[in-house]
Amino acid sequence: MKAYAYVDRIALERLVEIDQPDPVPGEHDVVVAMKAAALNYRDLAIADGDYHIEVQPPLIPVSDGAGEVVAVGKSVRRFRVGDRVCAVYLPDWTHGPIRREVAARRLGGPSNGVLRELMCASEEDFVMAPRHLSFEEAATLPIASVTAWQSLFVNGSVKPGDNVLVQGTGGVSIAAIQLARSAGARVISVVRTDKHRETLYRLGASDVLLSDDPSWHRQLFAVTRAVGANVIVNVAGGETVSDALLAASGAATIHLVGYAAGKMVTFDMFEAIRRAAKFLVAAAGSRASFQELVKLLELEEIRPLIAQRFSVRNHREGMDSLRRGGHLGKVVLTFD
């Protein structure tokens, strides 16, 4: 089988195609023919040597993927040949709160990821993909959508009528818009440009504000009748957290789910005290959360948004597109 790996050094220019033997499943393993993989900013951070945990070669990168079960071990009970499945990003985190010991094994770094034609792992490392989604759509779920679900409904508790502010247009942002709207919340999207306004409305945003407009905070308080945002999903980190705090209501919950604008977060402590703001940091989600997410996606027929597709052979073009940013939805690699 073909795989893509950092063999001797982790750097994007050293990600090469390699040949490996076809895997044979152990007693509790499944073999999945990967059909699609989705990229995340952590993939860039790992390639750049700027990830928050140590990652060493050799490594098959990329955490998010979906495929079809093509072989099972003799004691496998959760899946059958032909099932469509998604890999679980943190496979040892099955349920409950996250703990250090269940966060050590992470697909795509430091553990091998999904950028391979055939993936063999324990049946516990996968969940059933939503029945209504394509492989490309299902591949986008393990980090972005599960993080949005874990933040909004496990770490937090979005309620009907809440004002939910979502910053950005990447995978977590789009998922947060769709999920918060499905819970009956009013979603306010804050973006850098106006070009995606109509699509954001279609996805569930009630209002779209431009972050480059210095009056956007006043506009937000106007559309929420002076309440402000009860829940904020911040995907960029850095100084954007301070900016988001100015839009918060009293006792607002601010979910910190990314670091595209910087890994050092700064904000005015007096502003946080005035609002009694609560900050929660996301760490993706458990397998149980993933399974609950799948139920909602199927019930509401929610579809993730794909911004661009590339062949897995053109993975560097996909990574370059992700680095440029500004896309609406996820960047996906497909296995031919």
pLDDT digits (tens, 9 = 90+) for 219-241: 999 999 999 999 999 998 998 99
The answer to whether residue 129 is domain-embedded is: yes
Assess whether 123 and 151 both reside in one domain: no
Average pLDDT over residues 34-43: 96
Assess whether 73 and 34 both reside in one domain: yes
Assess whether 109 and 43 both reside in one domain: yes
pLDDT computed for residue 189 by the predictor? 97
Assess whether 238 and 315 both reside in one domain: no
Assess whether 210 and 317 both reside in one domain: no
Whose CA is closest to 191, among 223, 230, 233?
A: 233
Assess whether 276 and 151 both reside in one domain: yes
> Rounded CA gap, 296 and 103, in Å?
25
> Nearest 5°: CA angle at 142, between 128 and 152?
105
150 has a pLDDT exceeding 80: yes
164 close to 184: Cβ distance less than 8 angstroms: no
> Rounded CA gap, 253 and 271, in Å?
14
Which of the two residues, 53 and 220, has the higher pLDDT score?
220
The answer to whether residue 42 is domain-embedded is: yes
188 has a pLDDT exceeding 80: yes
User: Computed over its alpha carbons, how large is the radius of gyration of the chain?
Assistant: 20
The answer to whether residue 328 is domain-embedded is: yes
The answer to whether residue 294 is domain-embedded is: no
Assess whether 160 and 110 both reside in one domain: no
CB neighbour class for 180 (10 Å; exposed up to 12, middle 13-18, buried from 19): buried
**Please, what's the b/e burial string for 232-257 (b: 16 or more CB within 10 A of its CB; e: otherwise)?**
bbbbbbbebbebbbbbbbeebbbbbb
The answer to whether residue 288 is domain-embedded is: no
174 has a pLDDT exceeding 80: yes
Domain that holds residue 7: 2-140+304-334
Assess whether 329 and 271 both reside in one domain: no
Q: Which helix (H) or strand (E) holds 242?
A: helix 240-245
Residue 169: phi, psi to the nearest 5?
A: -135, 15
The answer to whether residue 297 is domain-embedded is: no
The answer to whether residue 13 is domain-embedded is: yes
191 close to 166: Cβ distance less than 8 angstroms: no
Assess whether 118 and 226 both reside in one domain: no
pLDDT computed for residue 263 by the predictor? 84
Work out the percent of the chain whose per-residue pLDDT is above 70: 100
178 close to 239: Cβ distance less than 8 angstroms: no
52 has a pLDDT exceeding 90: no
Assess whether 14 and 123 both reside in one domain: yes
The answer to whether residue 299 is domain-embedded is: no
CATH number at residue 168: 3.90.180.10
pLDDT computed for residue 80 by the predictor? 98
Domain count along the chain: 2
pLDDT digits (tens, 9 = 90+) for 123-134: 999 999 999 999
pLDDT digits (tens, 9 = 90+) for 87-120: 999 999 999 999 999 999 999 999 999 999 999 9
> Rounded CA gap, 177 and 172, in Å?
9
Assess whether 84 and 8 both reside in one domain: yes
pLDDT computed for residue 282 by the predictor? 87
**Please, what's the b/e burial string for 302-317 (b: 16 or more CB within 10 A of its CB; e: otherwise)?**
bebbbbbebebeebee
Q: Which helix (H) or strand (E) holds 306?
A: strand 306-311
> Rounded CA gap, 297 and 23, in Å?
32
Query: What is the residue-averaged pLDDT of the chain?
Result: 96
Average pLDDT over residues 157-162: 96
pLDDT digits (tens, 9 = 90+) for 249-297: 999 999 999 887 788 898 999 999 999 999 999 889 999 999 999 999 9
> Rounded CA gap, 144 and 246, in Å?
25
Assess whether 114 and 55 both reside in one domain: yes
Average pLDDT over residues 162-174: 96
